[in-house]
Amino acid sequence: MVQTVKLSELSNRKRPNEESESESEIDISSTDSENENDNKEDEEEIVNIDFDFYNADPDIDFQALKNLSRQLFGAQESNKIQLSALADLMLQSPMTTIKTDGTESDPYCFISFIDYKENRDSDYAKYLNKVDTKLSTFFRTIDNSNDKNCALVVCERLINMPPEVIPPLYKITLDDIKNSSNGGKEYFDFYVIVSRKYEVNFDADDKTTGRLSKRVKNDEIDYFHEEDRFFEKYVKIQFQSDARKGVISTYMILNHEGLMNGIADFEAEIARW
């Protein structure tokens, strides 16, 4: 188990120009019941939860990893991947999970860094090679290089997980990779990240449901993974699929510097929330 890190008192992100009662030095107590009800409605709900970071446990986490992976890739693409084999592969790779009820509970979030060169013959690596020529060309470049390597990053969480957990999740796992290098490389040269976005105005009742829709404008899509906004600033290669049922698969390749810059930018943004 990695050293436990706890994040407490995470609250919902505030709306612009909103101030909570605790931030005001003015006594706003009132005997007016109507005002009290208004104040209660305006207060941000604060949920106190400890998120503990653990190494993966094959005996406990396997099924949850399959389910979260199916969520990440979506119904269509996950049918093209042997999810059981992928779960085994992730469990054998540098990996961190997040749980709230101890090591025996199911993970709510995970990240895994799969060494591409060591696992180039795996089902998952073969799947990625078929996704797009940009990816297959990149992998051929890595295959032909004697000193460059890349990690296949698989990261997913429950939809309502607070994004504040993501920077420490990356950092803890990257530190594990560095500490286990045994005098070799302390990090990967490149990172292949699979993620997804969604159409903001997608109508599930639209007659085109189930078919590929036309590409949408950037201002009409949003992110399932908030960190992707910051990773995109540093990508070396990026492309995305057409939307299917409102969901768009995205693929990003970053070098190590770009990944660390994206994490740092995301942390700085979180500090302003």
Count: domains in the chain: 1
Whether 119 is covered by a domain: the verdict is yes
Whether 5 is covered by a domain: the verdict is no
Whether 142 is covered by a domain: the verdict is yes
Whether 2 is covered by a domain: the verdict is no
**Has this prediction a pTM greater than 0.75?**
yes
Report the range of poorest mean pLDDT among 19-33, 192-206, 257-271: 19-33
**Residue in the structure block whose two tokens are 């939860």:** 49
**pLDDT attached to residue 7:** 46
In degrees, rounded to 5, the angle at the alpha carbon of residue 247 between the alpha carbons of residues 116 and 254 is 35
**pLDDT attached to residue 49:** 77
Report the range of poorest mean pLDDT among 44-48, 59-63, 89-93: 44-48
Whether 33 is covered by a domain: the verdict is no
Whether 178 is covered by a domain: the verdict is yes
44 pLDDT more than 70:
no
Whether 237 is covered by a domain: the verdict is yes
pLDDT grade for 220, boundaries at 50, 70 and 90: confident
Under 8 Å between Cβ of 177 and 187: yes
| Domain boundaries, position 138 | 10-17+47-272
Element (H, E) at 40: helix 33-42
Under 8 Å between Cβ of 185 and 147: no
CATH code for position 100: 3.40.630.30
C-alpha span between 264 and 259 (Å, rounded): 9
Under 8 Å between Cβ of 221 and 200: yes
Written as six digits, the tokens of 193 are 């990240």
**pLDDT attached to residue 137:** 98
Under 8 Å between Cβ of 224 and 259: no
CA-closest candidate to residue 99, choices 51, 132, 65: 51
C-alpha span between 247 and 224 (Å, rounded): 10
**Mean pLDDT for the chain overall:** 84
pLDDT tens figures, 98-156: 999 999 999 999 999 999 999 999 999 999 999 999 999 999 999 999 999 999 999 99
